[in-house]
Amino acid sequence: MIATHSERIRSAVIGCGRMGAVTSEAMRRFAPPAWMPLSHAEAVLAQPCLELVGVCDIAPEPLAAAAARFSVPAYADYRQLLDALRPKLVTVATRTPERPDVIAASLAAGARALHLEKPLCNSVAQLTQLEALFADPSLACTFGTLRRYMPIYHRARTLASEAYFGGLSQVQVNMGKAPLMWTHPHSIDLLLFLAGDRPVKSVSARFADGSVERHGSRIDGDPVVTSILFEFDDGLSGVIGQTGGCDVVLAGNNGTIAVESDGRRLRIRTSEGSDIYWDRHLLEEADGSPGGTRLALDRLVEGLNGNAAQILADKRAILTGQRLLLACGQSHLAGGAAVDPAQLDPKLVITGRSGNRYA
Ligand SMILES: NC(=O)c1ccc[n+]([C@@H]2O[C@H](COP(=O)([O-])OP(=O)(O)OC[C@H]3O[C@@H](n4cnc5c(N)ncnc54)[C@H](O)[C@@H]3O)[C@@H](O)[C@H]2O)c1
């Protein structure tokens, strides 16, 4: 049954920092309109089927600020919030180390829809635990890798499937010289999405010297990525390097399709007739519509209303992306060797720590 305005879904936000409650000034200023509303709480308020019933943070200041701004009860302990409010939808915007426990507690308290910040977790052991929890077919999950929900990236994927493009041969994501756990959950998820979520055969990755410390199977730090190569099982390749700009480039035999500047526009290059140079340019500017985290929450509402295929696909993408992230660490530890993401070291951990802050 479709949820209506009068029976809104009880929703709570855990973690009231930038992603939970206060969109950063830099994002407000620079990000394309399609990224707003970005914070979880703002997105809950923008989704008419949802009702924000409470917020939680262990730090008093952001908690008090969020509770006052959104006029909802404040909890310093997420277990107390879950116990008292029994939200059906929970959004989790803490840092990563506590995330698996928050997820498990939310489900135990009856939540059926989760919007989770990236990355999902820090270890293969936690991923295995989360794979088991996500197996519940009635649980809907979406992720902070929002580009996969944005229309302009869907448009790029559709264009790449058209005959003139000549078949997709490579996807390259350009997010600069950036840390694995903080930035590249986005790159990896986007790459997977544009590759049609097809199976990845191997992952090879190298990190910048000195960006992490190794203790056996434990990588301490947030590795600065110099290169990642994904090989898909049908010959498609995916590349993440150090080029910046927040662009993604899809390459086909007859041209390229780029989504530039985090979704500001789409640029198509191709040729006329048999010209081998791709000098024909077409630009499509984004239409300026809002979207952001609201797009993910819309999907959760659809999931709660019974869209089983979408629920399954969204959860599979989250788990696969996390598996590929961990596979990058395993490849680096093996000197950049190609790693089968299905064969991860069960002891592998990537702390994602930068100083005393975690991704
Ligand atoms: N999707 C995106 O584009 C995007 C952008 C930035 C950050 N992130 C991710 O979002 C997460 C949060 O990032 P941020 O920049 O908002 O961080 P932040 O530090 O601003 O906010 C995190 C908040 O969680 C709170 N917290 C920590 N442990 C808690 C617990 N056990 N219970 C309740 N609250 C707890 C902290 O006190 C803090 O207020 C990170 O994992 C980050 O990687 C995603």
pLDDT in tens, 155-179: 999 999 999 999 999 999 999 999 9
Cα-based distances in Å from 242 to 43, 66, 202, 213, 245: 32, 36, 20, 21, 10
Ligand 1: does its nearest atom lie under 6 Å from the Cβ of 98?
A: yes
Which stretches of 85-240 are assigned E, i.e. beta strand? 89-92, 113-116, 140-143, 168-174, 200-207, 213-215, 218-220, 225-232, 237-240
Cα-based distances in Å from 190 to 16, 120, 198, 247, 355: 26, 15, 12, 11, 28
Asked if the model's pLDDT at residue 4 lies above 60, the reply is no
Ligand 1 atom 5: residue of nearest CA: 19
Ligand 1: does its nearest atom lie under 6 Å from the Cβ of 16?
A: yes
Ligand 1 atom 39: residue of nearest CA: 17
Ligand 1: does its nearest atom lie under 6 Å from the Cβ of 63?
A: no
DSSP lists the bridge partners of residue 50 as: 9
The C-alpha angle 64, 69, 75, rounded to 5 degrees, equals 35
Predicted pLDDT of residue 273: 84
Residues in CB range of 209: below 8 A, 6 or more apart: none
Residue 62 identity (one-letter amino acid): P
Closest CA to 120 of 352, 356, 293, 354: 352
Q: Under a CB-based contact definition with an 8 Å cutoff, are residues 231 and 224 in contact?
A: no
248/273 Cα distance (integer angstroms): 26
CA of 248 to the centre of ligand 1 (A): 26
Q: Give the number of the atom of ligand 1 that is nearest the alpha carbon of residue 293.
A: 1
Ligand 1 atom 19: residue of nearest CA: 17
51/6 Cα distance (integer angstroms): 10
pLDDT in tens, 302-342: 999 999 999 999 999 999 999 999 999 999 999 999 999 99
Mean pLDDT score, 82-99: 98
Is this prediction's pTM over 0.95?
A: yes
Ligand 1: does its nearest atom lie under 6 Å from the Cβ of 78?
A: yes
Identify the three-state secondary structure at position 181: helix
Residue 312 identity (one-letter amino acid): L
CA of 103 to the centre of ligand 1 (A): 14
Ligand 1: does its nearest atom lie under 6 Å from the Cβ of 117?
A: yes
Predicted pLDDT of residue 62: 98
Could you tell me where the DSSP H helices lie in 89-178?
A: 99-108, 124-134, 151-160
Asked if the model's pLDDT at residue 5 lies above 60, the reply is no
CA of 66 to the centre of ligand 1 (A): 14
Ligand 1 atom 37: residue of nearest CA: 59
DSSP H or E segment with residue 303? helix 292-304
Cα-based distances in Å from 96 to 106, 236, 350: 15, 31, 11
Asked if the model's pLDDT at residue 201 lies above 90, the reply is yes
What average pLDDT does the structure give for the chain? 96
Q: Give the number of the atom of ligand 1 that is nearest the alpha carbon of residue 18.
A: 16
End-to-end CA distance of the chain: 38
CA of 244 to the centre of ligand 1 (A): 24
Mean pLDDT score, 113-133: 98
Predicted pLDDT of residue 274: 86
Cα-based distances in Å from 227 to 174, 241, 256: 11, 5, 21
What is the percent of the chain where pLDDT is above 90? Answer: 97
Residues in CB range of 181: below 8 A, 6 or more apart: 96, 119, 122, 222, 223, 325, 350, 352, 359
Closest CA to 22 of 55, 50, 49, 51: 55
Asked if the model's pLDDT at residue 99 lies above 70, the reply is yes
Mean pLDDT score, 35-58: 98
* Residue 251, token pair as written in the block: 């390459």
Ligand 1: does its nearest atom lie under 6 Å from the Cβ of 93?
A: yes
Predicted pLDDT of residue 102: 98
What is the percent of the chain where pLDDT is above 70? Answer: 98
Domains and CATH numbers, the chain: 5-117 (3.40.50.720), 151-290+321-358 (3.30.360.10)
Ligand 1: does its nearest atom lie under 6 Å from the Cβ of 204?
A: no
Predicted pLDDT of residue 272: 86
Residues in CB range of 263: below 8 A, 6 or more apart: 32, 34, 35, 147, 150, 152, 153, 286
Q: Are strands 9-14 and 113-116 parallel, antiparallel or unpaired?
A: unpaired
Ligand 1: does its nearest atom lie under 6 Å from the Cβ of 118?
A: yes
Ligand 1: does its nearest atom lie under 6 Å from the Cβ of 331?
A: no
pLDDT in tens, 213-238: 999 999 999 999 999 999 999 999 99
Asked if the model's pLDDT at residue 284 lies above 50, the reply is yes
